[in-house]
Structure 1
Amino acid sequence: MTVLGVRALNRAMLVRQSLLERSKWSVPEAVARLCGVQAQEPQEPFVGLWSRLSGFEVGMSDAALTGRAVVRTHLMRRTVHLVAARDALAWRSRHEAMLRQKVLGVYRSELAGLDLEEVARAGREVMSDGCARTMRELAEALEGRWPAVSRRALGELVVAALVPMAQLPPRGLWKVRAGVRNLPLETWLGCEVDPPAERGDPVGRELVRRYLAAFGPATTADVRAWCGLAGLPAAVRELEPELVSFRDERGRRLWDLVEAPRPDPDTPAPVRFLPAFDNAILGYRDRSRVIDEAHLGLSVAGLRAVLVDGRVAATWTYGRGWLEVAPLRPLSRAEREEVEAEGWVLAGFLEEGVERVRILKAG
């Protein structure tokens, strides 16, 4: 079985994530091809899309969100993602059990013995008037029926687990600070959420296909780390006849779509600035294809990353009038020049009147 080294896996990830060359996708197409964009921090997706799309302008993303082509919702790993509207409707039922388990795990003692279906019905009744509500407002409307449960636990249970919700704009619009106001996904999109499959696991199989198209080659553990779902190894086994397999350098089996691109490991990779929590890093159980073990903590700490030769080599931050890059390793003169050049382009996109792009010494 062919062995794929770290650079081969890295280049495969970069081309599928549109990080080798910017694509001409529309925002809804990009969000769909990327299997959603991590959007827990509302402003971060803009840099992620800018780094991937040719000619990207912030108005494109705002229009996709207000036009309901994409939607902010709790999905993979119970985090908020920007997801294509059709995917949100198709995938939500497959994520239902995981979303409930995540909330119950946090508030197990408070929610013990609660009839979840009764709570879900009550939540839908409150939201049936079509008015968007904050989580607190929804919890306040329900707390009289379950006075022993804290508002936070009750609100998170309904909003993040029991009732498929959309977080409405202006939350998630460019440079707009707005609290979270929720509306049932079906109300916002005008379509019903797809029901659970009656036979087999077609949604699970489709999730595996889509994941591999955006992130492969990958192990079954990588697939589960991306979405947080159980049962997908069975979906992989069912798909085996239409997949190709490899081994990584540690002997683990990797799965991929037959026709998916796998560039030469020596393909040059340009500098790319990534936002916090980008799925190019978080989308794997084993993140060694893109980040060194010593720096794994950065990927979950909310630090923004700079890819140099396809790997996380620095972090970056900015404020009004400045953009600063902190290398994690010594950069060559050519690398520093490329990082600085891309930093100036990013500074122009951020529109912060940046007058200084500074690259610090490696710490």
Structure 2
Amino acid sequence: MDDRVSRRTLNRAALARQSLTARADLPALDMVRHLVGLQAQAADPPYLGLWTRLSGFTHDDLTGLLYDRSVVRSSVLRGTQHIVTAADFPWLRPLMRGPLGRARQAAFGRATAGMDLDELAAAGRDLLRGRTLTRPRLRDLLAERWPDRDAEALAWSVQTLVPVIHRPPSGTWGKGGATPFTLAEEWLGVAMAAEPRVDDLVPRYLAAFGPAGVRDLQMWSGLRGLEADLERLRPRLRVYRDETGAELFDLPEAELPDPGTPVPVRFLPAFDNLVVAYADRTRIMTDEHRRRVCVGSMVAPTVLVDGFVRGTWKIAKDRDTAVLAVELFEPVTDGATAAELVEEGERLLRFAAAGRAHDVRVTTAQS
């Protein structure tokens, strides 16, 4: 059956499945699994992404999962850094060979032209076996074997060719520094899947982001050419159409919420997957606002008002004070919403900048 679905219904469906209409009372591990992965190019955004979706979430909830190996941080979806569950990584990482390979070729293909990449991967494995190396240390060791090559390109290439984990404290709240590499098989104690299936990924994506089209799934995952896969899975899925007539797929048991469902103010971190999970992002923000949020490879932290991206935010800290600066794209004229922006902003500061004096400043961007 083909049913037409409004943009606002798609918005409410996405927010409900992301626990943004109401915070979920779930363990952090369950939410990581439900979302498939949390974008983790920087250490803090995964914590903020869980905080905005879970009731009672604390920093230790995610840090503990990283240390006890229940979740791992590595290059996964779109070939970018994510936190995923240890149970998902062994099949999800091999499924991303295509996106990882394209990213490596685009960035370092010229520097590694003519090299035997299997030989490079084997050398990386040999160097990492039984120990953890930072990327700079791996670079230096690879330079000894290939002194005439760009060693930085070699180290980055190994990261895409060999499944590695960035073990904690890397990736924990507030921690920066050189990225450590540990062989994933050694960290997890299991082998990577030899034949991962996109069939395992499609229902997981739809459960957290659906209804969605083929191009949306490809944008979120980084995979290409999934039209035949969705066509093969069609009998197991429900089909909708959006306001433009584009085809959308969903799980047959998934319900669509009332488009009038109220949504509280929510703060999303930089690179949140909700903002980048669709080719057509108008269910979350207008095309004009997208140009302000997604600039080059950067995706700004965003604030949702009535479920749509209405502005961006950032926190400036010194030793004693933390200031949350919210810049809206248009003024908020409703007094209750304005008060809610400040109230939710203060909650964010209590989580992200505990022990400091807090100040929330809401302004409107100059057009």
Q: Same fold per TM (> 0.5)? A: yes
Aligned residue for 2:145, secondary structure, equals coil
Which residue in 2 is equivalent to 1:249?
243
The answer (yes or no) to whether the contact 2:136–2:178 under 8 Å persists in 1 is no
The answer (yes or no) to whether the contact 2:37–2:84 under 8 Å persists in 1 is yes
Cα distance in 2 for partners of 1:154, 1:79 equals 17
User: Are 1:131 and 2:134 an aligned pair?
Assistant: no
Aligned residue for 2:127, secondary structure, equals helix
User: Are 1:170 and 2:172 an aligned pair?
Assistant: no
Which residue in 2 is equivalent to 1:106?
107
Which residue in 2 is equivalent to 1:353?
356
Give RMSD over aligned pairs: 1.4
Which residue in 2 is equivalent to 1:119?
120
The answer (yes or no) to whether the contact 2:43–2:174 under 8 Å persists in 1 is no
Aligned residue for 1:110, secondary structure, equals coil
Which residue in 2 is equivalent to 1:85?
86
The answer (yes or no) to whether the contact 1:120–1:162 under 8 Å persists in 2 is yes
Q: Within 5 Å, which residues of 2 pair with 1:1-363? A: 1-128=2-129, 130-159=130-159, 161-197=160-196, 203-297=197-291, 298-300=293-295, 301-320=298-317, 321=321, 322-332=323-333, 333-350=335-352, 351=354, 353-363=356-366
Cα distance in 2 for partners of 1:31, 1:76 equals 14
**Residue 328 of structure 1: how far off its partner (Å):** 0.8
CA gap of 1:77–1:299, structure 2 versus 1, over 3 A, is: same
CA gap of 1:20–1:234, structure 2 versus 1, over 3 A, is: same
**Residue 317 of structure 1: how far off its partner (Å):** 1.2
Give the aligned residue type for 1:316. Answer: W
The answer (yes or no) to whether the contact 1:276–1:299 under 8 Å persists in 2 is no
Number of aligned residue pairs: give it: 356
Aligned residue for 1:109, secondary structure, equals coil
Cα distance in 2 for partners of 1:352, 1:327 equals 27
**Residue 362 of structure 1: how far off its partner (Å):** 4.4
Cα distance in 2 for partners of 1:90, 1:239 equals 19
Aligned residue for 1:255, secondary structure, equals strand
**Residue 284 of structure 1: how far off its partner (Å):** 0.9
Give the aligned residue type for 1:354. Answer: A
The answer (yes or no) to whether the contact 1:24–1:53 under 8 Å persists in 2 is yes
Cα distance in 2 for partners of 1:205, 1:271 equals 35
Deviates more, 1:55-64 or 1:292-301: 292-301
Deviates more, 1:344-353 or 1:71-80: 344-353
Give the aligned residue type for 2:56. Answer: G
Cα distance in 1 for partners of 2:201, 2:260 equals 30
Cα distance in 2 for partners of 1:221, 1:180 equals 32
Cα distance in 2 for partners of 1:98, 1:361 equals 38
Structure 1 length-normalised TM: 0.95
Deviates more, 1:48-57 or 1:140-149: 140-149
Deviations 1:212-235 (A, max 9, x none): 111000110000000111232222
Cα distance in 1 for partners of 2:93, 2:108 equals 22
Deviates more, 1:131-140 or 1:296-305: 296-305
**Residue 352 of structure 1: how far off its partner (Å):** 5.2
Which residue in 2 is equivalent to 1:200?
none
Give the aligned residue type for 1:226. Answer: W
Cα distance in 2 for partners of 1:238, 1:28 equals 31
Gaps of 5+ in 1: 198-202
Gaps of 5+ in 2: none
**Residue 89 of structure 1: how far off its partner (Å):** 0.8
Cα distance in 2 for partners of 1:307, 1:156 equals 35
**Residue 349 of structure 1: how far off its partner (Å):** 1.3
Sequence identity, in percent? 39
Give the aligned residue type for 2:22. Answer: E
Cα distance in 1 for partners of 2:288, 2:67 equals 40
Deviations 1:54-83 (A, max 9, x none): 110110000001111000000111110011
Deviates more, 1:353-362 or 1:212-221: 353-362
Cα distance in 1 for partners of 2:299, 2:100 equals 22
**Residue 259 of structure 1: how far off its partner (Å):** 1.0
Structure 2 length-normalised TM: 0.94
